[in-house]
Amino acid sequence: MIIDILTLFPGAYLGFLDQSLILRAQKNKIVKINVIDLRKYTKDKHRTVDDRPYGGGPGMVMRVDIVDRALKNLKSKVKSKKLKVILLTPQGKTFHQKMAQRLSKFDHLILICGHFEGFDERIRKLVDMEISVGDFVLTGGELASQVVCDAVVRLIPGVVGKEESLKEESFSNSLLEYPQYTRPEIYQKMAVPKILLSGNHAQIQKWRQKMSLSKTKKNRPDLLKNN
């Protein structure tokens, strides 16, 4: 998979790209992540990417012509038809695990990070979908793009060492993951459930399913309503 990220702040990705699974996926050539400075597509000496909003109002708005120029350049290099252009915006559809799973099937993603007061509305006509990582506003789309990248990349075959672990994660089956324990067996009078020490794998599996359902009912009942 190739992921192109259009941003005004390429430096925001320095730590993100050279850690953990993201680094391993790049080293193993499973994914290629390109962080692209949107200002390289400007034509004036000040490298202007925004302007005052028509009709007045506070803040600055990202220009449609700059984004369009960038997208045309990137698309001209795309070899696969399995491409998705994504705008990261609070107005988008809320990102979730099933969306991450769908996106992991694409060969090429282009993520557009916003900044300033917002986007020129016409930019929305240049993309395939809009994604929000939650009902809150960030300074820019850089953090949101990292969330999307991390969630998607780890689902690509070969990225996670034990892929069977993905099947029992939270949200993988619309439930939260069951409780996990490790050594010490007893810590400050808190003991590991005896069932996990029994060696009875069938009973352990039943217990885990029960705990997963119970935790979901308590913490995220909305997941059960949507299932």
pLDDT digits over 126-167, tens only?
Answer: 999 999 999 998 999 999 999 999 999 999 999 997 666 676
Let me know: does 51 contact 63? Beta carbons within 8 Å: yes
Q: Is 157 helix (H, G, I), strand (E, B) or coil?
A: coil
Task: Say which CATH topology domain 170-225 has.
Answer: Trp Operon Repressor; Chain A (1.10.1270)
3-29 pLDDT, tens digit each? 999 999 999 999 999 999 999 999 999
The residue whose two tokens read 């395939």 is: 128
Listed in sequence order, the residues at least 6 apart from 175 whose beta carbon sits closer than 8 Å to its beta carbon are: 212, 213, 215, 216, 223
- Name the helix (H) or strand (E) containing 187: strand 186-187
Query: Cβ of 181: how many Cβ atoms within 10 Å?
Result: 13
Task: Give the mean pLDDT of 183-196.
Answer: 97
CATH 1.10.1270.20 domain position(s) in the chain: 170-225
Q: What is the pLDDT of residue 68?
A: 98
Nearest to 66 by CA among 39, 45, 89, 86: 39
Task: State residue 111's pLDDT score.
Answer: 98
pLDDT at 212 over 90: yes
Total number of residues shown for the chain: 227
* One CATH from 3.30.70.1400, 3.40.1280.10, 3.30.1540.10, 3.30.420.40 for 2-153: 3.40.1280.10
In this prediction, residue 226 carries a pLDDT of 67
